Amino acid sequence: MTNKHEHLDEGTIHAWLDGALSPDESAQVEALAGACTECAALVAEARGLVAASSRILSSLDIIPGGVIPGVDGGVDQLAALRARRHASTRRWWNDRRVVVAASLVFVAGISSVVWRFAGPNTVMSPAEQTADAVQPFADTVRAIVTTPSVPATPSATTKASEAAGRTEAKAEAPRPLSDPAPTRIAAAKVLADSSTDLKKVAAASTVLPRSAGLVANEARKSDSSVMAKSRTQSLDSMSRTRVADRATFELPLQQGAASQRQALAQARVDSVQPAARPPAFGAGARLGQVVTTGVGAARDAAEPTVRCYQLRLAAPPTRGETSARRERVIIVADSVQLLNVTLPELSDPTWYRAKAVGFADSVLFWRPVDSTTVELRSRSPLAAAQLVVRFRTTATGLPLPDLGREQGVQAALATRILCP
Amino acid sequence: MRDDELERLFRLYHAPLVRYLTRRLGDRDWAEEVAQEAFLRALRQDSLTNERSWLFAVATNLVRDEARRTARQRRHLQVLAEQERDSVFEPPLTTAESAHEAAMARQALESLVEKDRLALLMREEGLNYEEIAAALELSVGSVGTTLARARRRLAEAYESLQSGEGRRAAGGGDHDQ
């Protein structure tokens, strides 16, 4: 966890900030961060890196800002997923029409063989021949063509259907397998009921192969068209989701990203921050949640929503500190919300009210410096604790040293976040 | 997998998965397709012990396999998709400035090694260290170091890109920084 100089290593600090350490390890890190100034600086730097990387990654989201997320933005996607699931799990051998057509082809083949070997003296009618030929398969066919939607008691399941591996199929009534005649009759009845062409097939078996082939082809075509239609509907649904209401679909993402960042930032704060917050702004203090209301710049007119930012303040240089040292000390402000309320007590109409959550004794206000820069001030009861900070609303999360050159003005790094 | 399980899985993980994939790929439509395929594969599983890391790992592998197969076609389609997006859909805040920031962010992200990039993107979607380790086949103890390195390199690369832009904008003058 620590190096040979008992300082925290970077991986441990990030794991701590991410809440990935055990309570004991966290306590150890917290103690070190409190006792070692260099460790505290490393923690602050890591905190800045966490915030900066989140902000950089959030700029990859091509999502409109300031829009209210939809409630069920993913419903269409879920429906499309279900459709794809249904299409992907359906198999051609589960299709009743294909099974019937295949059975007819098979029956026709058997009939043809029987007719050839029996010769012209056979007294059986074509229908009887067909029934005889299908006898071994009669129960299987009956089980297949009888769908589960047909009411049946559990006891009605036949041994034939079990033998055929169609446990979900039920026969209409139990039939003894030892009596072949009823079985043949039942098979012929089922086949006759299952296809309007069956009587023609039984009457003229020589025509059967062609008819059955046509039926099979039609069944395949029908199945293909059904599948294609299903896929088309699925794609249409997805397309509608993306094109017709793309903004709506993107909203949950924005909400999720922003709220997640907010939650992560809050979690980090909660895990690190002591119970008592600093009473006022200043070097080493946490801004907490600053709520600001005000729209001054033209950019705000284009963005009518209340905006919130996470601010990081560069600590003011202390005596004896080098500039390099100063750059490393970064103070994190959790979130800043910009409101739209003017300050009647001020004659200058360019100032707007700002409120800090957790800083009830401080009155905040802000004004637009230019189209992209905001100045935030605290009017604390203690004049010495007044804070003057400037940040860019289009900030990139990186230092803006030119903003902090004026007397008493500190530059802040702003990261836009979801308002609490 | 039952329908209610599908719905729960979808509502929990679809948005972060699509966002993860969008950030990874830079193409929303492609991200949605990959996410759908990942969910379909999840549906074929009887049960998932660690569903979030499983989904992210499958999606990552799908992207990797697809990228290997159709890298050239993907680039072409990406260009077409960007052109289509530019001509059809323009988010209100996608100004030239934000687009420029996004381009720099993507360039900075692409400068990371694959493992660091994926770990960082997964962490941003809320995966904990155990889930990241499972998805990327890392040890849990190395995730913190990986994330620290990824965050630092990302910030440095972005800062470098931005300072380079600043110097170019200043025309190579002696702007006081």
Same domain (yes/no): B95, B127: yes
Kindly state whether residues B36 and B78 are assigned to the same domain. yes
**One-letter amino acid identity for A104?**
L
A102 interfacial to chain B (CB closer than 8 Å): no
Residues above pLDDT 70, as percent of chain A: 29
Q: Does pLDDT of A135 surpass 50?
A: no
Domain encompassing residue A118: 92-229
Average pLDDT value for residue range B28-50: 85
- Assess A12–B contact: CB distance below 8 Å, yes or no: yes
pTM listed for this prediction? 0.41
Give yes or no for residue A220 having a pLDDT over 70.
Answer: no
Shortest alpha-carbon distance between residue A149 and chain B (Å)? 21
Highest mean pLDDT, choosing among A48-52, A173-177, A208-212, A341-345: A48-52
Domain presence at residue B53? yes
- The reply to whether A266 falls in a domain is no
Tell me, yes or no, whether B177 lies in a domain. no
B74 at A interface, C-beta within 8 A:
no
Residue B34 has pLDDT above 80, yes or no: yes
CB-based contact (8 Å) between A90 and chain B? no
Do the Cβ atoms of B129 and A11 come within 8 Å?
no
**Dist CA A257 CA A55 (whole Å):** 10
B78/B144 same-domain check: no
Locate A44 and state its tokens: 């602050």
Residue among A277, A265, A251, A224 nearest A19 (CA): A265
Judgement on whether residues B52 and B125 belong to the same structural domain of the protein? no
Residues of B in contact with A62 (CB under 8 A): 22, 28, 85, 91, 94, 102
Average pLDDT over residues A377-399: 60
On whether residue B102 sits in a domain, the answer given is yes
- Who has greater pLDDT, B72 or A296? B72
pLDDT in tens, B77-131: 666 666 655 554 444 445 677 778 888 898 999 999 999 999 999 999 999 999 9
Across residues A384-400, what is the average pLDDT?
61
Res A34 pLDDT > 90? no
Question: Do B46 and B129 have their domain in common?
Answer: no
Spatial distance between the Cα atoms of B73 and B81, rounded to a whole number of angstroms: 12
In angstroms, the separation between the Cα of residue A415 and the nearest Cα of chain B is: 13
Q: What is the pLDDT of residue B117?
A: 94
Q: How far is A406 from chain B (nearest CA, A)?
A: 14
Distance from CA of A340 to the nearest CA of B (A): 20
Please answer whether residues A171 and A158 qualify as being in contact, where contact means their C-beta atoms are separated by less than 8 angstroms.
Answer: yes
Q: Is B174 on the interface with A (CB under 8 A)?
A: no
Top residue of B7, B158, B161 to mutate, by most chain A CBs within 10 Å, is B158
Q: Where residue B29 falls among pLDDT bands split at 50, 70, 90?
A: confident
| Chains A–B, number of C-beta pairs less than 8 Å apart | 161
DSSP A385: G
Nearest CA in chain A to B28: A62
B29 contacts on A by Cβ (under 8 Å): 242
Contact B143, B129 (CB under 8 A): yes
- On the CB side of A111, how many CA atoms lie within 13 Å of its CA? 24
Mean pLDDT in residue range A266-293: 40
Residue A355: alpha-carbon gap to chain centroid = 35
Residues counted in chain B: 177
- Inform me whether the C-beta atom of residue B108 falls under 8 Å from chain A C-beta atoms: yes
CATH of the domain at B157: 1.10.10.10
Written as six digits, the tokens of A222 are: 């029908």
Q: Which of A82-96, A105-119, A283-297, B124-138 has the lowest mean pLDDT?
A: A283-297
Domain region containing B28: 1-89
Interface of B with A in 32-51 (CB under 8 A): 32, 36, 39-40, 43
Q: Which of A3, A23, A22, A12 is nearest to B142 (CA)?
A: A12
Closest by alpha carbon to A129, among A140, A142, A144, A119? A119
Residues B138 and B54 in one domain: no
- pLDDT, mean of residues A259-265: 48
A342-383 pLDDT tens trace: 666 655 667 777 765 544 445 677 777 776 777 777 764 444
Among chain A residues, the shortest Cα distance to B42 is held by: A85
| Sign of the Cα pseudo-torsion (B121, B127, B133, B137, in order) | negative
Residues A92-126: tens digit of each pLDDT? 555 667 777 888 888 888 888 877 776 555 444 44
The answer to whether B6 contacts A81, with C-beta atoms less than 8 Å apart, is: yes
The tens digit of pLDDT for each residue in A297-325 reads 344 444 445 677 767 665 554 455 444 44
Is B21 a member of any domain?
A: yes
Residues 6+ apart with CB under 8 A from A107: A130, A133, A134, A137, A191, A201, A208
Q: Are B24 and B15 in contact (CB under 8 A)?
A: no
Mean pLDDT of the region A85-89: 61
